[in-house]
Structure 1
């Protein structure tokens, strides 16, 4: 996006997002101090980030000639609330304690509890309970915000269906991701791509683009084409995430470069490497939480030597070409097409 346009759009979104949290924090005051603290921690977690989802939604709405800017802003708040709800729940499922380079909600509440003399196990349970409640609150809030758009019933129902599709597929994708990690099945590369689409790509890229198009009252077929572009973009970003999750620089990404290997996360990298001699020699280390940096480096080297890293980099290039072809064939307004092509470049080149 052009800098001035992006800045203006983001400022408008941030104003609405902040207003939402101010309202909820005030509302929580009517209950008790502890519940207000929960909302304040959620507020801290939710602020920051690239705002990819709301900006995609607003861009699609505006560039398709939409005249429901207030509804688009409300829906943009909804999709960002949904994103935060899902990452909070994902952290609980994965047992993670960091988010965006700092302590997540589980870690923050657990730390407070330990400082008050609560034993570590119970403190961790308290932190996870608070995170679960926070995710529940945000998930409900996302649906509520979208349901409040001031549009005809048919249009509001259409937008709610799109949002529901995103949540439905995210749950399916999360289930598959956990099943793969437990070894309940040995997925092939296509199954992993399907999981990536359902868990992340749909709600992160398809949903905002389709909601923006719906609120602009664009032809249904155009909404479907944008959905296909969103799916490809989502896969592109997720593949890049998986690459950075092993070979990225933590100081830049704000994420561990060993977590995926210690957790035994089943990614395309691992799928490409398995059954190769290089990976088989170190596979026993994969998924062992207690391994040290030297063992992690052995796993990284195996992913290099096996050719998995190069193969994933080639797949990222192919997916980018596919996304660009979809954009070229979609007959989009020139401004929207340019924004989406820019998103493809970002997806290929980003380091965080």
Structure 2
């Protein structure tokens, strides 16, 4: 979503890798099983799009920061990539997923290792779950360490740690709410599901990285608040578009089989809007059958479309992006243009 010059992308990768290499060196001095855990966590952090550190750098540049005078920029940016990887590892555990990007994730890797060594299926599952918890914890701690040890003044460090702390807290609230919605006896209202989507994604993926870049650049407090508010709306819109992609997107867009969210019975604002429509009975019947195969998925997609839920959610996305653009119009040119470009990219993702 953010185009970076190759040298900037390289420096982000170098900062992430330097942190992980230092963690691996410390682990190697302890015990082989800890070294294996850090190696798995290191693999989990490789090959990503690096959107969050890229947003930190882009915000820093947009608010007039000088890279040569701010060596702490790179470890702080890297911290948001490690935070993201930690959340992904924990999220896979919560969802009972054993793969990520077509390969075993941390839990899947340790589970298979235990099976190969003769463990029972239950024992292997317990080891895999423990490894996922601990790998995520290590990366969370490393993200905090990077910010806490960044070579900056105490006031700025306090601001950055506050941003990181808020991101962790809100994301935990969002993840817990997401699970509560999934196991609830009755479907959750759309407003609650929208709030959960915001907490799961908008803060740690959008608001926090942008705020950190603005702080490092010495941005005006008022401008920073406006930018954070605008990018939070963009982040929520991004997650709602992800829900549309998970239901209506192609295999190329979703990176998985079409209608994956329908197969998984995922509770989203889209589903809540459909259930609140005049076609509730038809919607419920179609959703109940959706996991049975591709024909049922296609029928559920048609039913959701006919209910008006898709149009309603697209309308909400448009409203959020308009609000973000309006808020950003009061900013200096460079941060305004950055936020407008992010809003445009989210708009382009709508399936």
The answer, yes or no, to whether TM exceeds 0.5 is: yes
2:104 corresponds to 1:103: yes
**Secondary structure in 2 aligned to 1:133?**
helix
Task: Give the TM-score, by structure 2 length.
Answer: 0.91
- In structure 1, what is the equivalent of residue 174 of structure 2? 173
Q: Which moved more, 1:117-126 or 1:167-176?
A: 117-126
* Distance in structure 2 (CA, Å) of the matches to 1:197 and 1:231: 8
- In structure 2, what is the equivalent of residue 47 of structure 1? 46
Q: Deviations over 1:62-99 (max 9, x none)?
A: 22122453211111111111111112111111222232
Cα 1:192–1:2 shift into 2, 3 Å: closer
2:88 corresponds to 1:94: no
2:303 corresponds to 1:302: yes
Aligned-pair CA distance for 1:150: 1.6
| RMSD of aligned residue pairs (Cα, Å) | 2.4
- In structure 1, what is the equivalent of residue 158 of structure 2? 157
2:207 corresponds to 1:193: no
Contact 1:265–1:287 (8 Å) recurs in 2:
no
Unaligned stretches of 5+ residues in structure 1: none
* Distance in structure 1 (CA, Å) of the matches to 2:2 and 2:202: 24
Pairs within 5 Å for 1:303-322: 303-322=304-323
Q: Deviations over 1:77-124 (max 9, x none)?
A: 111111111121111112222323433222222223223333333322
Aligned residues: 349
Q: Which moved more, 1:110-119 or 1:165-174?
A: 110-119
2:87 corresponds to 1:77: no
Contact 1:101–1:255 (8 Å) recurs in 2:
no
Aligned-pair CA distance for 1:261: 2.4
Q: Deviations over 1:285-343 (max 9, x none)?
A: 747896333333333232122121222222222222222112112x22x2332222221
* Distance in structure 1 (CA, Å) of the matches to 2:61 and 2:42: 28
Aligned-pair CA distance for 1:253: 3.0
* Distance in structure 2 (CA, Å) of the matches to 1:158 and 1:98: 36
Contact 2:283–2:304 (8 Å) recurs in 1:
no
* Distance in structure 1 (CA, Å) of the matches to 2:179 and 2:94: 8
Contact 2:265–2:291 (8 Å) recurs in 1:
no
**Secondary structure in 2 aligned to 1:111?**
helix
- In structure 2, what is the equivalent of residue 115 of structure 1? 116
- In structure 1, what is the equivalent of residue 31 of structure 2? 32
- In structure 1, what is the equivalent of residue 130 of structure 2? 129
Pairs within 5 Å for 1:224-235: 224-235=225-236
Pairs within 5 Å for 1:194-273: 194-273=195-274
- In structure 2, what is the equivalent of residue 9 of structure 1? 8
Task: Give the TM-score, by structure 1 length.
Answer: 0.91
* Distance in structure 2 (CA, Å) of the matches to 1:2 and 1:202: 17
Q: Which moved more, 1:95-104 or 1:85-94?
A: 95-104
* Distance in structure 1 (CA, Å) of the matches to 2:110 and 2:324: 41
* Distance in structure 1 (CA, Å) of the matches to 2:2 and 2:282: 49
